[in-house]
Structures are given as structure tokens and as C-alpha cells.
Amino acid sequence: MTSPVIARPGAVEASGPDAGVAWHYGDPTGEQRALEAGGAVVDQSHLGVVTVTGPDRLSWLHSITSQYLENLEPRRSTETLVLSPHGHVEHAAGVVDDGETTWLITESAPALAGWLDSMRFILRVEVADVTADWAAIGEPVGQEGVEGEPVTWRDPWPRTAPGGTRYGPADADHPGTARAWRLVLVPRGELAGEVDRRERGGWRVAGTWATEALRVEAWRPRAALEVDHRTIPHELDWLRTAVHLTKGCYRGQETVARVHNMGRPPRRLVMLHLDGSGHVAPVGGAAVRLEGREVGRVTSVARHHVLGPVALALVKRNVPADAELLVDAEGGAVAAAQELVVPAEGVSADRPEPRPVLPGLPPPATR
């Protein structure tokens, strides 16, 4: 559905998964600076909202998704994944509970609601896709919502949650730590008025050009762009915030544990610094090449007001970390330098030590 905020003068509609809201309002660089400085509001009403009610809601969600949700406190934000039986990411959702209802903010609301509804069985839960009734507003604020405020989801990225682990740098050294971001849910009919109220308070209205540039800079994975049919969360360093490693069984848990304990992610997320001198830019899905051989795909492309053209890409784990890459683009290939998100060795910060090899047995990797 198209947002009423897009009717503002100068608004240019976004495309792809952001269709329906503004890409920018005529000054994408200024909007990005305002957002980075903590003084902008962003229409995020293209996101979906699913609610789960009933006394069994948290224990049920805990049992079928990747995060520890059973004792989730009211107004405490987290995120969770729905995985396939083979551990591939099928859905991702920001999660917050208000004490009576669990709210899931997602980019796949109809499909997620349908899958959840199919898993209810005889439990005391009710699932509803309420996207038509509720809209999200993005704010560069790092605080949780408090009692008396609307339902608010604060992005936990990249702070490693209890039970999670990381492949990339420590939280304090992660570029995403500087990015404050939360989504406030408002009745859809009040969306334009809530945006206006924030603008009257001194904030600038910004578009998704700004949010995407800061997200890419923060290495923040997004399900609609970074995930394909074979993505496992390790490849995106998503075990930081969306996966609990010791909470017990759930669909896909075996793959999560096996790759963490014994294997290495087959692919790894990188941030690419793109050569902008030729004024040629790749698009999402463009092939990434090393010496003419395809070694990955671009997932997100953005133009950052300081870093210039940047992208996130999934590449094969064995691509040398210092290799200069080329990215396909209309008009000619674009040179790209890697900044590691998931290191090439593919070992998490707390991976268990390998078991000693018994005499006469081959090492585990060759069995």
C-alpha cells in the first residue's frame, strides 16, 4: 500500500522492497546527515505487522523460532528468525511484547502470519496480520519504549544478546554500535499526523536512501535483501541478535549448532567500498567476480554521504580477504575493496575447542 506521506512535495518513491514509501524528499544527502545526527523521522509504513495474543504466545514462539522468548519482559525488544528444517532463513521479525500482545515487525507479514497460524495446533494463541491497521515510523533513538508510549521496537543490532555469539568484531568495535534506530507503531490512519508532529518538533523528514546508507554502514542484515533460499544466519553474523544457541530444540536448530560447533559458513557477508570514479553503480543481485570468476552476489547498494558508494555482498568463504573484486554493472565493471563482516576463517568468538583426535582416527573434518 502507498503511504500518504509520499504525497509531500519533492518526494520520490522508493522501489523494490521499499515501494510505497519515499526514497527521498529532494535532498538525500541532507536527509542522511540529519538522520545520522539524530534529528530525522522516516516513514517505514511499508513494513508488515503481525500480532500474537493469548496466554501461550511467548512459550509457543519460543519453541518454534530461533530466539529465547519464553520470559520476554514487556517493552524489551529482540528479534527472531523462522528457519527451515535445514537451517535456512525463511522469515525474520523484530519482536516486542506489551504484556498482552506480542508484536512482530517483518517484511513478510502475510507469509509469516500464515505459517504461524498453521503451527497453532491446540495452543491458546491467536495470530493476525494487522498491517492494514498499524504503521511503523523510524526514529534515530536508542531507547526502548516506556509505559505510556506506543508500542516501540528498538533495533538490538549489533549488541550480542545472551545466548548469542558473534563472528565479527566485539560489540564496542562494531560500526553498527553508533547507529541508534527504533520503530514506533502508530494507527495507520494517524501516520501522516505523527510524521507532521515530529517535523514540527524540529526533526527533518527523511527517506529510505538515508536509512539504507546507514544500515549498510552498520553491516545490518535485512531479510528482504540479504537473504536468499540458502542463507543460514551464520553467514550474516546474525547469531549476534537473532539466535539463542542453548535454548533447546526448534526447527533448523541442528544446522545452527553444527555450523557453529564444527563447521564454517559456506558464504560470508562483506561490505564493499565501490569505485565511484566511473559514475557507474551496480544494483542488488549483481555478480561479484574475482579474476573473471563469479564468487558472490551484491545484496544491498547504497550511497553514503561520507563513504561514497558502498554495498553489502555475500561471497564464497574461500575468497581471499584482501582480494580486490569486480562487480558487474551496466556500463562496465566496478572495482570493489572488501571490509570484512564475517571473517574468512568462519570461526565464532566462542566456538568450542575441537575434540582431540584419537589414535588411528582421521581428524573430524575428513570423516
Domains contained in the chain, CATH given: 4-226 (3.30.1360.120), 266-345 (2.40.30.110)
Cα–chain center distance at 75: 20
- Angstrom distance (rounded) from CA 149 to CA 136: 14
Instruction: Write down the mean pLDDT value for the chain.
Output: 95
| Cell numbers that stand for 295 in this block | 564468487
Confidence of residue 366 (pLDDT cuts 50, 70, 90): very low
Q: What local confidence, expressed as pLDDT, does residue 354 receive?
A: 65
Flag whether pLDDT at 367 surpasses 80.
no
Tell me the per-residue pLDDT of 51-77, one tens digit each, with 9 for 90 and over: 999 999 999 999 999 999 999 999 999
The amino acid that residue 69 corresponds to is: L
Q: What is the pLDDT of residue 351?
A: 87
Q: What is the pLDDT of residues 246-300, one digit of tens each?
A: 999 999 999 999 999 988 999 999 999 999 887 888 999 999 999 999 999 999 9
pLDDT at 350 over 90: no
Within 10 angstroms of residue 332's Cβ, the number of other Cβ atoms is 9
Q: In this model, does residue 116 exceed pLDDT 60? A: yes
Lowest mean pLDDT among 112-116, 265-269, 345-349: 345-349
Look at the chain and count its residues.
367
Mean pLDDT of 171-184: 97
Q: How far is CA 202 from CA 39, 137, 196, 333, in A?
A: 7, 16, 10, 42
Q: Mean pLDDT over residues 310-323, rounded?
A: 96
Grid coordinates in use for 281?
Answer: 553503480
- Position 365 pLDDT exceeds 60: no
Q: What percent of the chain has pLDDT over 70?
A: 96
User: Is residue 150 reached through a cis peptide bond, with omega within 30 degrees of 0 on the bond before it?
Assistant: no
Number of helices and strands in the chain (H, E): 7, 18
pTM score, two decimals?
A: 0.94
